[in-house]
């Protein structure tokens, strides 16, 4: 007489296959850079450059009578 249910163990996916992606520093995949990240980086560089120019002008103005 055939059984209604198999007595064999049902294969399940391994838990390691469902892990979240690893961080880039630990060997994760590279993701494409968003344009908003590029704009923010450019804005930061421009602000640092302006600060350096202001400091240079302040130093130069302080040395001349």
Instruction: State residue 14's pLDDT score.
Output: 74
**Taking the model in full, what pTM does it have?**
0.49
CA separation for the pair 4, 60 (Å, rounded): 92
pLDDT at 16 over 80: no
pLDDT in tens, 26-55: 766 777 888 999 999 999 999 999 999 999
Comparing 48 with 62, the larger pLDDT belongs to: 48
Token pair of 26, please? Answer: 């630990």
Instruction: State residue 63's pLDDT score.
Output: 72
Domain boundaries, the chain: 35-65
- Neighbouring residues of 29: CB distance < 8 A, sequence distance ≥ 6: 21
Instruction: State residue 40's pLDDT score.
Output: 96
CA separation for the pair 47, 54 (Å, rounded): 11
């Amino acid at each position: 007489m055939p059984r209604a249910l198999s007595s064999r163990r049902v294969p399940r996916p391994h838990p390691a296959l469902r892990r979240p992606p690893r961080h880039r520093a630990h060997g994760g995949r590279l993701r494409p850079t968003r344009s908003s990240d590029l704009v923010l980086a450019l804005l930061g560089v421009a602000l640092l450059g302006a600060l350096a120019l202001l400091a240079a002008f302040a130093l130069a103005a302080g040395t001349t009578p």
